[in-house]
Structure formats: structure tokens, C-alpha cells
Amino acid sequence: MAAPMPVCIPGRKLCKESDTHLPGTGTYTRNGFIYSSLVGTIRETTDESNVKTISVIGKENNSIIPYIDAIVVARVTNVNPRFCKCEILSVGKHHLQDAFRGMIRKEDVRALDRDRIEMHKCFRPGDIIIARVMSLGDAQSYLLTTAENELGVVSALSESGK
């Protein structure tokens, strides 16, 4: 069995920040030092140019929230001619404990032929879609887009519900 990795807690000083030691996830820098901001194990990754990235790996599914450019899985809840609303179920590989609200505007549905989009022909409530987060949106919902080849509806029921 491998030796147990050192466990650190928030506020633990890890090392000095320099050109060869960069802060990774789960860390923050203060006064030129890298500190841990999570309870977790320390991981050191070295790239080709011998630069080490210090990160702290906490528990899986670590308090993740949608971020810009993330690929998300969402379920459509509401469709109207201008936009459709959906609830974001997971971000990347991580399943969310509570859903976040998202919105796809009519012009973000596809890249080509954008002025001839009819929303109700693209989405129906209950469809499972894969989308990319465009921006954090307004106070209520994240702005999503499906204007890429690999994005769009991935699972849906037929009109008769079968």
C-alpha cells in the first residue's frame, strides 16, 4: 500500500510561490506564499519545463458550480418563441446536488441560419441537452448556447410521449 498522502486544512502554508512553483486548484496565494484553501490531499504535478503546480484535492464532486465555457447537461423546462429555460443538472463530469437555472436565447441555438430558428421546433420541455455556458447571465439564470456541432438535444421523448 502506498504511504498516505499528507492531508492539509484551510490556511496551511504549503510553499513559496515562484516561477517553478505555481498555485493550482484548492489553493490561494498571500504574501508570496501558497496556502491551502481546502481540506484535502496535496498533489504536485510537474510539466515538461519542470514547473510544479501545487494543488489540493478535496472530496469528489467538490462544491462545483457552473462556470464560463463549461459543458453542462441540462433539462428543458419551458420553451417560448424567444428563449427556452432549463435546469442545469451537471457540470462537466460532476453531478450537481441542486439544479441551477439556465437559459438559451433564440439566437444561441445554432450557428447557421440563425434568423429562421423556431424555438418550439428545436426544444420541447423534458428534453435533455448538452450545452456550453456562455456567461453568468443575469441574477436569475446562466446563459447557455448549443451553437456547436457536438452540442444540442441528446435525449428526448417522441411527441406521443414514448
Partner 1 sequence: MPLDTRRLTGPESSQSPYNFAPVNKLDLTQLDKRPDGRSIKKLRPLFLRTNVVSQARGSSYIEMNETKVICAVYGPREVLRREDFSLKGQLTCDFKFTTFSCRQRRQYQQDSQEKDLSVLVLEALEPAVCLHKYPKSQINIFITVLQHDGSALSAAITCASVALASAGIEMYDLVVASSAAICGSVTLIDPTAQEEDALLKATVKPDNNAGSVTVAFLPSLSQVSAISSDGELSFEILNKSMQECVANCQKLYPVLEHTLVKHQQELEAGRS
Q: Which position among 17, 26, 84, 122 is part of the footprint of partner 1 (CB under 8 A)? A: 26
Question: Contacts with partner 1: how many residues (CB under 8 A)?
Answer: 32
Q: In the range 124-143, which residues lie near partner 1 by CB under 8 A? A: 136, 138-140, 142
For partner 1, the closer of residues 101 and 110 by Cβ is: 101
Q: Which position among 3, 4, 112, 113 is part of the footprint of partner 1 (CB under 8 A)? A: 4
Q: Smallest Cα–Cα separation from 55: which of 63, 64, 46, 68?
A: 46
Going by DSSP bridges, is the β-strand pair 52-57/33-36 parallel, antiparallel, or unpaired?
Answer: unpaired
Q: What sign for the dihedral angle of Cα 120, 125, 127, 133?
A: positive
Least distance in Å: CB of 32 to partner 1?
14
**Residue 93 engages partner 1 in binding (rule: CB under 8 A):** no
Q: What is the DSSP letter of 29?
A: E
Stretch that binds partner 1, among 31-39, 47-55, 75-83, 104-112 (CB under 8 A): 31-39
Least distance in Å: CB of 93 to partner 1?
16
Q: What sign for the dihedral angle of Cα 120, 126, 132, 134?
A: positive
3-state secondary structure at position 84: strand
